[in-house]
Amino acid sequence: MGLCINIVRQLANSWFLLFVGLYFGQFVLVAQGWSIPLLRNYLGDVLAFPILLHLIMVSVRLILNNPSLRADWIMLVSLWGLIVIVFEGILPPINPRYTADYWDMLAYGLGLLLAYVAFIK
């Protein structure tokens, strides 16, 4: 029971909830016909990194039974590289829904910095 409460407490992190709310709020606004092109194109990419990082860290803490485990720069840069390789290198040639965009890499990097400030620093 204590483990479940700890997981819920980690998922209820105010930064995480803000990022998830902004991420899905953007989709609702676009579906309603409201959008700012710069935000529509890159806000999801910026927010994806901290959301993924937090979910990964909650999972790793659970698997390793180490609630105090924190990400370091090597993990952050590795995750950034993995996201760039998958979404900018592998998927665009095999699925027309995805396009390779160098600005996305910058957005993922901004998300890395956002995650660092929100969850690590």
Kindly report, residue by residue over 43-63, the tens digit of the pLDDT: 999 999 999 999 999 999 888
| 1 has pLDDT over 60 | no
Q: Does pTM surpass 0.75?
A: yes
How confident is residue 90, by pLDDT bands cut at 50, 70 and 90?
Answer: very high
Q: Please report the pLDDT score of residue 12 as a whole number.
A: 86
- Give pLDDT, residue 2: 64
DSSP 8-class letter at 35: -
Count of other CB atoms within 10 angstroms of residue 113: 14
Query: Residue 25: its pLDDT value, please?
Result: 93
Q: Which two tokens stand for residue 36?
A: 């700012």
Average pLDDT over every residue of 89-94: 94
Single out the residue of 46, 42, 107, 53 nearest to residue 78, CA to CA.
53
CB-count burial class (<10 Å; 0-12, 13-18, 19+) for 32:
exposed
- pLDDT value, residue 3: 65
Residue 101: φ, ψ to 5° = -140, 120
Average pLDDT, the chain: 90
Q: Which residues contact 68 (CB under 8 A, 6 or more apart)?
A: none
